[in-house]
């Protein structure tokens, strides 16, 4: 699959408010202290762990790993350009492991290996938080082909959730909801930059006509709720 480079490139997903609210959600799930060790798998531009690091000044810098190496990452985190499985096969322990909107990009076999490795890599009472798009009543603004691909992907996600529950067993489910309000023109730019995995394989002509559809379907200011499911596992 082509790489997902523009996910958090100047989008609501990298906005100060989103990162602040998301960090508050994480802090609510896991009490963070100066000696908390954090790993973010598929961290993208690592804004989440960078904000946490700025707030807590951890003794050990949080580790972010990703198969894409973005420029200008903050120095208060340790970024490793590596795939999740390769990294986790080295033994080390973390108090908090985040996998945000990344697990669906791996094969089912690798997801299973990943979950088992994460379980082993958690310290006593450590937490694993897995975030993924909410599958029911999802409000992500779409055009027809995008909707079709998103629905296929969300169906797959439901199977992923079942597999996660099967492997981790004792999990708690909650939701992270973020109110998005953005200019339609900015959303069209995101679509043209293929910000989400469903858009990666589309032909350029499909993206262009999709952008036209968005122009007709949505008002100048697009408002919706970006809802994520959070699966929490505690060791
Ligand atoms: C949708 S983005 C989410 C980024 C970030 N977690 C966030 O929510 O802002 C998914 C990220 O997972 C990364 N990724 C995909 N497969 C991976 C793997 N096997 N190991 C590490 N990172 C991976 C992608 O490169 C991408 O940056």
Q: What is the pLDDT of residues 109-162, one digit of tens each?
A: 999 999 999 999 999 999 999 999 999 999 999 999 999 999 999 999 999 999
192 Cβ contact list (under 8 Å, min separation 6): 207, 211
Give the lowest-confidence range in 3-12, 130-139, 164-173, 192-201.
Answer: 3-12
Strand pairing report for 221-234 and 171-183: antiparallel
Taking the centre of ligand 1 as the mean of its atom positions, its distance from the CA of residue 50, in whole angstroms, is 16
Q: How far, in Å, CA of 86 to CA of 40, rounded?
A: 14
Chain-centre distance of CA 188, in angstroms? 21
192 burial via Cβ count (<10 Å: 0-12, 13-18, 19+): middle
**According to the model, what pLDDT value does residue 2 have?**
62
Q: What is the pLDDT of residues 176-201, one digit of tens each?
A: 999 999 999 999 999 999 999 999 99
Walk me through the domains of the chain, giving residue ranges and CATH numbers. Answer: 12-234 (3.40.50.150)
For residue 114, give the ligand 1 atom closest to its CA.
19
Q: Which residues partner with 225 through β-bridges?
A: 179
Mean pLDDT of all residues in 57-84: 95
Cβ count near 14 (within 10 Å): 15
Helix (H, G, I), strand (E, B) or coil at 25: helix
Taking the centre of ligand 1 as the mean of its atom positions, its distance from the CA of residue 105, in whole angstroms, is 8
> Does residue 8 line the site of ligand 1, with CB under 6 A?
yes
Whether 5 has a pLDDT exceeding 90, the answer reads: no
């Amino acid at each position: 699959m082509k790489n997902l480079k523009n996910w958090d490139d100047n989008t609501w997903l990298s906005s100060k408010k989103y990162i602040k609210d998301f960090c508050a959600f994480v802090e609510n799930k896991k009490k963070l202290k100066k000696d908390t060790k954090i790993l973010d798998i598929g961290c993208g531009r690592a804004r989440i762990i960078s904000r946490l690091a700025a707030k807590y000044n951890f003794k050990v810098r949080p580790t972010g790993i990703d198969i894409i190496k973005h420029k200008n990452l903050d120095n208060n985190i340790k970024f490793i350009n590596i795939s999740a499985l390769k990294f986790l096969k080295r033994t080390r322990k973390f108090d908090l492991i985040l996998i945000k909107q990344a697990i669906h990009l791996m094969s089912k076999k690798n997801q299973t290996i990943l979950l088992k490795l994460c379980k082993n890599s958690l310290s006593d009472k450590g937490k694993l938080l897995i975030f993924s798009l909410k599958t029911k009543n999802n409000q992500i603004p779409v055009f027809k082909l995008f909707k079709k691909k998103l629905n296929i992907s969300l169906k797959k996600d439901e199977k992923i959730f079942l597999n996660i529950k099967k492997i981790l067993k004792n999990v708690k489910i909650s939701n992270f909801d973020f109110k998005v309000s953005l200019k339609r023109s900015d959303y069209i730019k995101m679509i043209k930059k293929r910000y989400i995995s469903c858009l990666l394989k589309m032909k350029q002509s499909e993206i262009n006509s999709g952008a036209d559809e968005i122009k007709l379907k949505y008002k100048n200011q697009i408002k919706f709720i970006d809802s994520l499911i959070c699966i929490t596992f505690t060791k």
